[in-house]
Structure 1
Amino acid sequence: MNDSAIDYDRYDHVRPIRWNGETLELLDQRVLPFTVVHEICRSSDEVAEAIRALTVRGAPAIGIAAAWGVVLAGRGLETADAAEASRLLEPAIQRLNAARPTAVNLAWALARMGDALAALDPGDDWRAALENEALAIETEDLAANRAMGRAGAALIAPGSGVLTHCNTGSLATAGFGTALGVIRAGVADGRIARVFATETRPWNQGARLTVWELAQDGIDATLIADAAASHLMKTGQVQWVVVGADRICANGDTANKIGTYQLAIAARHHGLKFMVVAPSSTVDMGTASGELIEIEERDPAELLSFRGKRVVADGVSAWNPVFDVTPHALIDAVVTEKGVVERPDAARMRALFGA
């Protein structure tokens, strides 16, 4: 099916980030699906806290939110000089950058905002330049997602079933999504007949967000417990596992939501294909392999409690890594808006993304 035949708007109704010219409105993903409310951010520090607290989540969305955070940081500065503004904005940029260390899009978006300032002449309107750059980052992300959706769906045979993990859709991006963008395009194109989503413990992004988001677009999805994935694969109902990424290394190793690695192992054992879908801004050619990725750990209380109530006996400890790394040898395809890398390794990644 060609591009024009895919009804994108039919399968793309959710927007997690809204800039209204004065404040940033973030769809609070902590309270979905039963409460739909936007948190209003009036400062860069409020944006950083929203990123840290998972009000906004998903690598591309984090980067977009951070870019608008820089715009908000600039609102409080008195200087008309771009060079001085760059210097004065640095503390706010550092606080934004520290909010989530694993997602490379965060640092990438902030670097773009800094580069936009550095490119200005002395008399240029640096505030307008920052706002234009943030809008460009958001607009480009949506276009990239739709390109990835087409490219990834083209790899999937008609009538296939897919399993996805965490949330990689409109909620995690500017719109349409990465892995869910492939699923949206695949459903529209008649290639995907069955969609399964994991709960994605401990934050239940799959249960709270992914199946809700797909329901908004009229796409049927079946929720499974994380522990049911291998059994599902054994039944033959799925042919692909399609996931997103928070960082893709120079050799194709991929950091993604905790639990992704074990899905890749199970997929290989059962003869399924494994696809990673992410914008090229997620590709980090400066990090040679997954062993060099800093894996964020969150409060163990997220495992020990449920909705604020402790459910584990006193004295029990917990380990709560947020991401894991899937080795490139378990990945069949890395899909970006720049192209597809099948059976990724250092040479194939370099051929598409350079050194």
Structure 2
Amino acid sequence: MAISTDQRSMGAVAMRWHGDRLELLDQRLLPAGEHWVTAADASAVAQCIADMVVRGAPAIGISAAYGVALAAYNARGNSNWKAAVRLAIDELAQSRPTAVNLFWALQRMEQTFLTCASPGEAVELLAAEAVLIHEEDLAANLAMADHALDVMNPQQAIGVLTHCNTGALATGGYGTALGVIRRLHERQLLDRVYADETRPWLQGSRLTAWELMQDNIPVTLNADGAAAAILASGKVKWVLVGADRITANGDVANKIGTYSLAVLARYHNVGFMVVAPSSTVDMALVSGTEIPIEEREGTEVREIRGIPLAPAGVDVFNPVFDVTPAGLIDAIVTEKGAVRKPDLAGMRALFA
């Protein structure tokens, strides 16, 4: 089976599925060059996720689903094909700890796998399920953009600020928070996007600015520390961010620096909106204190692509995510609808 995701995607294309292999756009190298990494088995997909060749919670989940499909394809002539697929699911689950979309997608693939009676059926059904997960994510992004505009209700072109990358590169296409920005632009309701550079991986400068410029959407790049001055200027009406995990009370884990933006937005009377698919919602966790926060090694902060930025050997605190309390969030938007002023009751009403 050879399936091109280019025709399904809107915006940049982050992954291409070919039935016997998955191609991933290496997001570590953007915007300097567009290089595709070919993953021919589940282990290679897991490594790409761990190494951040692919990143963004929805894209991680989709990639993992394709990894399970590859495990079935490679095990089709193996008498122990069931054990091989189960091993692949376990390996993929260990690639990143925080984004719940990964585990949601793997659970869905495992449920499909349990219905498979033969290796051939596993190849067919798991590939179809992975493609369906991909297509559903794109449809969810389009729906989220509509729900978000209903909440924002802009009467004229507005400025927005965003953090990290939540676009087509981080999803199955179009984007979550960046999808809302696309929809504002399509309806001529966007004045300008201010994009935080997003240290230490610089997803805002390398990826978000690149995506927006590809689509001729007006963007101004700013250092993370300039966000307060921008919000104080009155040029921004909403801060729009994505999420890697949302708990039952509406607390949100997202890229490090999101929490401080929420504090700044509240002080400056600027709206703060989280846009993420319902697969990001983890109703099993009561609050953000229960979310496992991934920490990565200090080299990512001490240097950029081998160029030293700090004294060698200095201790580094490098959490990938922080948790924004629900009390600082004006709305959480998913494809199922919006929860305004999120709390346990509001989250249960939409997701229980």
User: Does the alignment pair 1:190 with 2:182?
Assistant: no
User: Does the alignment pair 1:309 with 2:307?
Assistant: yes
What residue is the counterpart of 1:231 in the other structure?
229
Q: Quick one: distance in 2 between partners of 1:153 and 1:170?
A: 19
Please tell me whether the aligned partners of residues 86 and 118 of structure 1 are also in contact (alpha carbons under 8 angstroms).
no
1:337 to 307, 330, 335: 335
SS in 2 for 1:56: coil
User: Does the alignment pair 1:145 with 2:141?
Assistant: yes
Please tell me whether the aligned partners of residues 193 and 220 of structure 2 are also in contact (alpha carbons under 8 angstroms).
yes
Alignment of 1:5-20 (within 5 A): 12-20=10-18
SS in 2 for 1:139: helix
* Shift of residue 122, structure 1, vs aligned partner: 6.2
Q: Quick one: distance in 2 between partners of 1:19 and 1:265?
A: 40
> Any idea what the Cα deviations from partners look like across 1:16-73, whole Å, max 9, x if unmatched?
0100122100000000012011100011111000000100000000000000101111
What residue is the counterpart of 1:128 in the other structure?
124
2:90 to 94, 103, 114: 94
* Shift of residue 310, structure 1, vs aligned partner: 2.1
Please tell me whether the aligned partners of residues 76 and 123 of structure 2 are also in contact (alpha carbons under 8 angstroms).
no
* Shift of residue 95, structure 1, vs aligned partner: 1.0
SS in 2 for 1:195: strand
Alignment of 1:251-290 (within 5 A): 251-290=249-288
> Any idea what the Cα deviations from partners look like across 1:252-310, whole Å, max 9, x if unmatched?
00000000000000000000110000000000000110000000000111111121122
What residue is the counterpart of 2:68 in the other structure?
70
- Change over 3 Å in CA distance of 1:298–1:125 after alignment to 2: same
Please tell me whether the aligned partners of residues 164 and 196 of structure 1 are also in contact (alpha carbons under 8 angstroms).
yes
Please tell me whether the aligned partners of residues 18 and 25 of structure 1 are also in contact (alpha carbons under 8 angstroms).
yes
1:114 to 88, 96, 110: 110
Q: Quick one: distance in 1 between partners of 2:313 and 2:109?
A: 46
* Shift of residue 314, structure 1, vs aligned partner: 2.8
Please tell me whether the aligned partners of residues 45 and 64 of structure 2 are also in contact (alpha carbons under 8 angstroms).
yes
Q: Quick one: distance in 2 between partners of 1:12 and 1:89?
A: 31
What residue is the counterpart of 1:3 in the other structure?
none
What residue is the counterpart of 2:42 in the other structure?
44
TM-score (norm 2): 0.94
- Change over 3 Å in CA distance of 1:280–1:37 after alignment to 2: same
Segments ≥4 residues shifted beyond 2 Å: 78-81, 84-88, 119-124, 153-156
Q: Which runs of 5+ in 2 are unaligned?
A: 1-6
* Shift of residue 190, structure 1, vs aligned partner: 2.3
SS in 2 for 1:276: strand
> Any idea what the Cα deviations from partners look like across 1:290-335, whole Å, max 9, x if unmatched?
0000000001111111211222123421110000000000000000
* Shift of residue 85, structure 1, vs aligned partner: 4.1
Identify the range of structure 1 (319-328 vs 86-95) with the bigger mean alpha-carbon deviation: 86-95
What residue is the counterpart of 2:4 in the other structure?
none
Please tell me whether the aligned partners of residues 12 and 217 of structure 1 are also in contact (alpha carbons under 8 angstroms).
no
- Change over 3 Å in CA distance of 1:128–1:300 after alignment to 2: same
Q: Quick one: distance in 2 between partners of 1:121 and 1:303?
A: 49
Q: Quick one: distance in 1 between partners of 2:201 and 2:120?
A: 44
Q: Which runs of 5+ in 1 are unaligned?
A: 1-8
- Change over 3 Å in CA distance of 1:22–1:123 after alignment to 2: closer
* Shift of residue 151, structure 1, vs aligned partner: 1.2
Aligned-residue sequence identity (percent) comes to 52
SS in 2 for 1:155: helix
What residue is the counterpart of 1:104 in the other structure?
100
CA RMSD of aligned residues (A): 1.6
Q: Quick one: distance in 2 between partners of 1:309 and 1:80?
A: 47
